[in-house]
Amino acid sequence: MRKYTIEKGVVLPLDRSNVDTDFIIPKQFLKSIRRSGFGVNLFDEHRYLDRGEPDADNSQRPVNPDFVLNQVRYQGASILLARDNFGCGSSREHAPWALEDYGFRVILASSFADIFFNNCFKNGLLPIVLERETIASLFDAVMTTPGYELSVDLAAQLITQADGSTLAFEVDAFRKHCLLNGLDDIALTLEDAEDIRQFEQRWQQLSPWYFTSS
């Protein structure tokens, strides 16, 4: 995984609560056995006017000019601004894959669904929880300022606004460490292979019925 650095970019406001994983990436795109190429189908049902299919040439499809992703002022955005309970619904990692593939690196929201939140960190995507009032004021700023940008410094845990003012944010220390260093979770866990083996032996003696295979 790529190492995470300071992310400066255009902010795209998605003014809805409870944005679910079907909204982020509809189910027909989950049939792929690859983990890349989902960006063109991010928010598919709102971004285009027709029904998307995995094989379609997306450049030929009619776009919905009213949807925020298609507005000129938000092109190239890398910071997504959202409201409550972003990413609720399924465990599909295709949701963070699609956001990351499109070019997003940071999501700011007043709350996230647990599984989605967890999946983000595995894919170089930083989800940041901010107070509802802070999110509301950011929505106001983005709507009224064309080309509105923010700079997000993960190491310092600071978001810097255009006027130089800053917002601090919380992030789990372990997840921060993994993102900043682009660490492979599996390799990290396997450093504890001996602990896992010992646990497993003890557990099997205690509860042999959990170790029956088909």
Partner 1 sequence: MTGKTLYDKIWDAHLVKQREDGTALIYIDRHLVHEVTSPQAFEGLRLAGRKPWRAGANYATPDHNVPTTTAERSQGLAGIKDRVSKLQVATLDENCREFGIFELDMNDQRQGILHVVGPEQGVTLPGMTIVCGDSHTSTHGALGALAHGIGTSEVEHVLATQCLMQKKMKNMLVRVDGNLQAGVTAKDVVLAIIGKIGTAGGTGYTIEFAGDVIRSLSVEGRMTICNMAIEAGARAGLIAVDAATLEYIKGRPLAPSGEQWQQAAQAWIQLRSDADAQFDLEVTLQAEHIEPQVTWGTSPEMVAPVSGKVPDPEAEADVSKRSSIEQALQYMGLSGGTNIQDIKLDCVFIGSCTNSRIEDLREAAAIVEGKQVAANVELAMVVPGSGLVKKQAEAEGLDQIFTAAGLQWREPGCSMCLAMNADQLGEGKHCASTSNRNFEGRQGFGGRTHLVSPAMAAAAAIHGHFVDVRKL
| Strand partners of residue 150 | 9
Question: 2, 132 in Cβ contact below 8 A?
Answer: no
Structure-block tokens of residue 101: 């593939």
Q: Of residues 59-118, which lie at the interface with partner 1 (CB under 8 A)?
A: 83-85, 88-93, 96, 111-115, 118
Region near partner 1 per CB under 8 A, out of 33-41, 71-79, 143-151, 155-163? 33-41
- 186 lines the binding site for partner 1 (CB under 8 A): yes
In the list 8, 18, 134, 151, the residue contacting partner 1 (rule: CB under 8 A) is 18
For residues 78 and 28, what is the distance between their CA atoms, to the nearest angstrom? Answer: 25
Nearer to partner 1, 20 or 149 (CB): 20
Positive/negative CA dihedral, 14, 20, 26, 31 = positive
| 8 Cβ contact partners less than 8 Å away, ≥ 6 residues apart | 149, 150, 151, 152
Q: Residue numbers of the site for partner 1 (CB under 8 A)?
A: 15-18, 20, 22-23, 26-28, 30-35, 45, 51, 54-55, 83-85, 88-93, 96, 111-115, 118-119, 122-123, 172-174, 185-186, 188-190, 192-193, 195-196, 199-200, 203, 207-214
